């Protein structure tokens, strides 16, 4: 497979990443950011304004903090297995963390970054969420978290039994905002519509509530948000 080269320097990204990792004290997240956003010796993200640069530097630190949860062997095994596909995923994680309006996005992306390294890849639902994260804003994600937290933390429902038994849960749709959030949660795969396949679109939602199912990815994202937003 033809390697992807760094502009001007005529070096493959993989080789640049390995050069950055020659110093084993450098976190992988920092090495990835250096590889994608600057030539050696230059300031991070030289094409970005100073505010964006400061924000991105802060977000890289969050990736580094999450990386501390991994063993040195997990990190080394991952970067030794780097290929073009994994470089693409790494770039998307960092680029979306860099450009997103929402700090909550960056926190979630840092969690997905750790999953990528520890598992060697993102699963289907994680990849789908990465591709569609910009559909969601803070309000959508907080609503999703608060709804599930009410059911599984405060009311004491068992999340695993709910998944296994495909129990219907209720989402209030009393306002257009509620309907719009519900639709976005469906589109990114965080919940499943009980009427899936019946040809409903956003304009056809009626009533004060809608039933939905949850699945394993719902649980994963709920736990990620619980760690970020929970007390």
Q: Dump pLDDT digits (tens) for 36-65.
A: 776 444 444 445 566 777 788 889 999 999
Residues 6+ apart with CB under 8 A from 42: none
Q: What is the pLDDT of residue 171?
A: 93
Is pLDDT of 119 > 80? Answer: yes
pLDDT in tens, 12-25: 666 666 666 666 66
What pLDDT digit, counting tens, does each position of 182-199 carry? Answer: 999 999 999 998 875 444
Residue positions counted in the chain: 231
Q: How far apart are the first and last CA of the chain?
A: 48
DSSP state of 21: T
**Between residues 21 and 3, the one the model is more confident about:** 21
Q: Which helix H or strand E contains 103, and what residues bound it?
A: helix 103-119
Contact by Cβ (8 Å): 60, 30: yes
157: pLDDT confidence band, cut at 50, 70 and 90? confident
Rounded Cα–Cα distance for residues 202 and 206 (Å): 9
32: confidence class by pLDDT, cuts 50, 70, 90: confident
State how far the Cα of 199 lies from the Cα of 201, in Å rounded to an integer: 7
Give the pLDDT band (50/70/90) at residue 5: very low
Domains of the chain: 13-122 (no CATH), 138-230 (1.10.10)
Q: What is the pLDDT of residue 45?
A: 44
| Cα–Cα distance measured from residue 38 to residue 56, given in angstroms and rounded to the nearest whole number | 13
Average pLDDT of span 93-105: 93
pLDDT band per the 50, 70, 90 thresholds, residue 203: very low
**pTM for the full model?**
0.79
CB 128 within 8 A of CB 189: yes
């Amino acid at each position: 497979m033809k390697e992807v080269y760094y502009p001007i320097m005529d070096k493959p990204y993989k080789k640049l990443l390995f050069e950055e990792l020659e110093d084993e004290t450098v976190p992988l997240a920092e090495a990835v950011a250096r590889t994608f956003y600057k030539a050696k010796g230059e300031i991070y993200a030289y094409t970005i304004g100073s505010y964006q640069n400061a924000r991105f530097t802060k977000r890289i630190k969050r990736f580094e903090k999450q990386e501390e949860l991994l063993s040195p062997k997990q990190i080394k095994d991952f970067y030794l297995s780097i290929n073009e596909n994994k470089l693409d995923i790494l770039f998307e994680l960092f680029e979306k963390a860099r450009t997103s309006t929402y700090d909550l996005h960056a926190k979630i992306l840092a969690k997905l970054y750790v999953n990528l390294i520890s598992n060697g890849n993102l699963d289907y639902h994680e990849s789908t969420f990465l591709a569609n994260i910009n559909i969601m804003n803070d309000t959508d994600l907080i609503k999703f978290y608060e709804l599930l937290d009410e059911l599984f933390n405060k009311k004491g429902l068992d999340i695993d039994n709910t998944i296994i038994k495909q129990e219907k849960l209720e989402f209030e749709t009393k306002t257009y905002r509620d309907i719009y959030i519900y639709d976005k949660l469906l589109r990114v795969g965080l919940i499943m519509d009980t009427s899936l396949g019946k040809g409903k679109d956003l304009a056809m939602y009626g009533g004060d509530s809608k039933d939905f199912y949850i699945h394993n990815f719902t649980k994963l994202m709920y736990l990620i948000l619980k760690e970020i937003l929970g007390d």
